[in-house]
Structure 1
Amino acid sequence: MTYPDTYYRRTLVDNTIRPPLRDVSECETVVVGGGLAGLTTALQLARAGQQVVVLEAQRIGFGASGRNGGFVNPGFATGTDSIAAMAGVDAAQKLHRLSIEGVDFVRKTIRDLDIKAAEPRSGMLSVLRHDGGAALKAYAEQLARDFNYRLDYLEREKVRTVLHSERYHQGLRDPNAFHMHPLNYLRAVAVEIERLGGRIHERSGAVEANLDGAEKIVRTDGGDVRARQAVFATGGYTGPLVGRLKRAFLPIATYVMVSEDAPDLIAEAITTTDAVGDNRRAGDYYRIVEDGRRLLWGGRITTRAASPSVLARQLRREMVTTYPQLEKLKTELAWSGLMSYARHLMPQIGALQPGVWYLTAFGGHGINTTAIAGKLIAEAILGESDRYRLFAPFGLAWAGGPAGLAVAQLTYWKLQAQDWWRERAR
């Protein structure tokens, strides 16, 4: 099994193929899922000297962890007020600090492991599609006051000097955020886990789990892993192995495309190396890649994945609506992937029972949150902290099954309509 034909696969530096599990393997912790959450957990455990085995059904980084927009910035998919309503003001502030810590953790990992192939580049620009400078300034002031976190406010004229679009108004630039090549990052983390003695098995989907005893047994088609601790970090591709996990999230498809090599044409529209995202509910996000030669553009969500040709047309429509000067820019690649969303729009991080842990529902939360979740679960397994309990208010609530997917799609269409009306009411 190979990666989908994406930009990230084409620019992959390390393409090591790891053997599937054979026979019986024993360890201290088995991690099911070779995405960002699972690999971060395994990395931290291996750094502490634990014996770790990672089982991945496809290839390392096959899912959304390796094929996303590459943004590393603090925050969650839902707003601070909603988080405070569910968990309390103090917990909401601690959670936001965790998201900031996640950014720093990923940056430090790149530096410590010298992951040049991740190609980190500082700066993220969040822009408004309607006139709302006062609220944006207030938000920047709040972050500076509550978290000592700096955001640079940009007036409309300043935004449009780097994003040549009539669609945009004010913006906030985060100099601490950055963007990177997520698949190259993951592959380097996997190499480090193995260097520390961890074992990683690809093409080793878990088909059965016996979790009730002191020894946890996870079975694949090729063998068993026996461990004291089991971690499930399977995201949008979670199967029925653990029913409570399968029922607790909605698989939502998101879309990304990459343009042809056309640096001069792209420069007519975008003259910043910052990653860019707009303020709509499922708005556009994009960044210049390959030293300005190509444009990577993502956005839109649906409850069913569309074909590459359909999604390319949808994303192109968004791009050209925003930048008419890019009408002749051709699409070279387009792909979709599944993310996991909980109904409460927060990550689901915790313990199913003694010795059994879960990390899921990272859709819309970004690389930073997914990475810090893996660090928290490793801390819990090692007895270093119980910080994972901050996510206790956001448990494994039933996501609604097919009806939940239908409601999610209707809600998205409603929010799109509200965005459309707000932009035209200015």
Structure 2
Amino acid sequence: MAYPDTYYRRTLADDTVRPPLRGVCECDTVIVGGGLAGLTTALQLARAGRQVVVLEAQRVGFGASGRNGGFVSPGFATDGDRIAAMAGAEAAQKLHRLSIEGVDFVRQTIRDLDIEAAQPRSGIMSVLRHDDGHALKAYAGQLARDFDYRLDYLERDQVRAVLHSDRYYQALRDPNAFHMHPLNYLRAVAVEIERLGGRIHEGSGAVHAELRSAEKIVRTDRGEVRARQAVFATGGYTGPLVARLKRAFLPIATYVMVSEEAPELIARAITTTDAIGDNRRAGDYYRVVDGGKRLLWGGRITTRTASPAALAGELRREMVTTYPQLEQLKTELAWSGLMSYARHLMPQIGELQPGVWYLTAFGGHGLNSTAVAGKLVAEAILGESDRYRLFAPFGLAWAGGPAGLAVAQLTYWKLQAQDWWRERPRRPQELKA
């Protein structure tokens, strides 16, 4: 039960191995999946005095929750206009407020539990790779009017003063958003769940579930849990245990690399502690880590897991194209992970049947929505709110199976082509037009 070899695994603050489930146990709620959504659900239920058991097939945070870019910022993978078209304008506003709440929840959890190892650092910058400051100003104004949420607008010269690349134009900086070490955060949350009386079993993949009666039974190879509520909080590594969940998402692979120690070289290109994401539909994201000594760079997606080393070559080309001064910066480590994407590009959160809950399809949404989803499901189980119903328009629609994967890959290539066309050098007559 080893973690994949990532920067986060190499910088773990605690690597305690939790024992697998053995025998029969009873609790109020059994949670399948030890990622951010499942652990947040367990944390909130345990805080309310409920007995919880978490079953994790591998290790806490083994999947995408523990090997991502570490960005915690508002919003979803799809834009507000599309969300409004599917759910209505009022619901779209409430959903965006939930995403802001998710950022605040993760930050407050770090404070409450004093998770120094999460290494939170404020500031995420969204940069344009083409000249369109007017659109950025309009978007910042909309967020200020609708949500009283402030973003700092940066002109091209301000951007290039800290990101020394001629590929960038204007940017919006979110001072409320932050980035962190996600695996250390998850493991600290797991410790708090156990302190509150919850049980977490690693190496305990669920192999069978009986969910029709009032008592839910989830079995592993060596034991079983009996509970009044069952929560399935799995993502890109979801198995066939609950067929509707398995059919409702596409497993999409993404890739991350981290550089060698080279603080002086990195500082020639990047002189900010903000995390950075560009505006391309198939864009890159990166941030300086390890106290400025290394650069973590992520991006690219495929519909099947490829060699991280091969994809690291593509990521590196993106990095050097953006920052030619980093050509001598060597890659020390690269890894991949599977995310779950729904066809409608929104999280899937709801009640499958009485007492059976699901949280999935968090690919591309960041840590904020994954965390707030766990909070919403816990509220529903505790009878405190039915806010999870805001996600009802984004149900468990069939994702298309192998055909859906093929369409997703074609769509990604199309987006890359659109990005290239938008950023291509313009002829003088085009610029005048």
Aligned to 1:35: 35
Deviation per CA, 1:176-201, whole angstroms, max 9, x where unpaired? 00000000000000000000000000
C-alpha distance in 2 between matches for 1:127 and 1:93 = 24
Aligned to 2:317: 317
| Superimposed CA distance per residue, residues 254-281 of structure 1 (whole angstroms, 9 cap, x where no aligned partner) | 0000000000000000000000000011
Report what 1:95 is aligned to: 95
Residue 106 of structure 2 corresponds to residue 106 of structure 1: yes
**SS across alignment from 2:277:** strand
1:178 alignment partner in structure 2: 178
Per the normalisation by structure 2, the TM-score is 0.98
Aligned to 1:295: 295
Instruction: Give the superposed CA RMSD.
Output: 0.5
Q: 1:223 corresponds to which residue?
A: 223
CA distance in 1, matches of 2:203, 2:222: 10
- Look up the SS of the partner of 2:317 in the other structure: helix
In the alignment, structure 1 residue 163 sits paired with structure 2 residue 160: no
State the SS of the aligned residue for 2:328. Answer: coil
Amino acid at match of 1:344: H
Structure 1 position 282, deviation (Å): 2.2
Distance 1:176 1:255 in 2: 26
Shift of 1:308: 2.1
Residue 76 (str. 1) matches residue 76 (str. 2): yes
In 2, the alpha carbon distance for the partners of 1:304 and 1:316 equals 20
Q: Give the SS at the match of 2:61.
A: coil
Is residue 121 of structure 1 aligned with residue 121 of structure 2? yes
Partner of 1:25, secondary structure, is strand
Q: Distance in 1 between matches of 2:63 and 2:280?
A: 24
CA displacement at 1:425 relative to structure 2:
5.3
| Other-structure match for 1:412 | 412
Q: Distance in 1 between matches of 2:238 and 2:142?
A: 37
**Residue matched to 1:131:** 131
The aligned residue for residue 47 of structure 2 is 47
1:198-231 deviation digits (Å, cap 9, x = unpaired): 0000000000000000000000001000000000
Amino acid in the other structure paired with 1:222: R
Q: 3-state SS of the aligned residue for 1:37?
A: helix
Amino acid at match of 2:176: N
Once the two structures are superposed, the pairs formed by residues 26-425 of structure 1 within 5 Å of their partners are 26-424=26-424
Q: Any idea what SS the aligned residue of 1:217 has?
A: strand
**Structure 1: how far apart are the matches of 2:288 and 2:411?**
31
Residues in 1 aligned to 2:309 and 2:22: alpha-carbon distance in whole angstroms = 39
The Cα offsets for residues 281-330 of structure 1, whole Å up to 9 and x where unpaired, read as 12000000011000000001110111121011011011001000000000
Task: Letter of the 2:215 partner, please give it.
Answer: E
Within 1, Cα distance between the matches of 2:352 and 2:32? 14
Deviation of the 1:410 alpha carbon? 0.2
Structure 2 Cα separation of the partners of residues 390 and 100 of structure 1: 15
Deviations 1:382-413 (A, max 9, x none): 00000000000000000000000000000010
Shift of 1:378: 0.1
Once residues 105 and 282 of structure 1 are traced to their aligned partners in structure 2, the CA distance between those partners, rounded to angstroms, is 28
Q: Quote the Cα distance in structure 1 between the aligned partners of 2:314 and 2:61.
A: 25
Give 3-state SS (helix, strand or coil) of 1:24's partner.
strand
SS in 2 for 1:257: strand
Residue matched to 1:2: 2
Query: 1:247 is aligned with what amino acid?
Result: R
Partner SS for 1:177 = strand
Q: Which runs of 5+ in 2 are unaligned?
A: 427-433
2:431 maps to which residue?
none
Partners of 2:52 and 2:216 in 1: CA distance: 13
Tell me the amino acid that sits aligned with residue 118 of structure 1.
A
**Quick one: distance in 1 between partners of 2:149 and 2:378?**
27
Q: Secondary structure at the match of 2:305?
A: coil
Matches of 1:96 and 1:298, distance apart in 2: 25
Alpha-carbon shift at residue 350 of structure 1 (Å): 0.2
Aligned length: 426
- Residue 274 of structure 1 aligns with an amino acid whose one-letter code is D
Give the distance between the partners of 2:311 and 2:22, measured in 1 at CA.
Answer: 39
SS in 1 for 2:273: coil
User: 2-side partners of 1:35 and 1:354: how far apart?
Assistant: 23
SS in 1 for 2:136: helix
SS at match of 2:306: coil
Local SS of the residue matching 1:206: coil
TM-score (norm. length: structure 1): 1.00
Code of the residue aligned with 1:288 in structure 2: it is V
Partner secondary structure for residue 166 of structure 1: coil
The separation in 2 between residues aligned to 1:308 and 1:408, in whole angstroms, is 20
- Mapped partners of 1:290, 1:408: distance in 2: 35
Q: Which amino acid aligns with 1:21?
A: L
Question: For 1:2, what is the secondary structure of its paired residue?
Answer: coil
Structure-2 separation of matches of 1:329 and 1:98: 39
**What is the CA deviation profile of residues 35-78 of structure 1, one whole-angstrom value per residue up to 9, with x for unaligned ones?**
00000000000000000000000000000000000000000000
Q: Which of 306-315 and 121-130 deviates more? A: 306-315
Contiguous gaps of at least 5 residues in structure 1: none
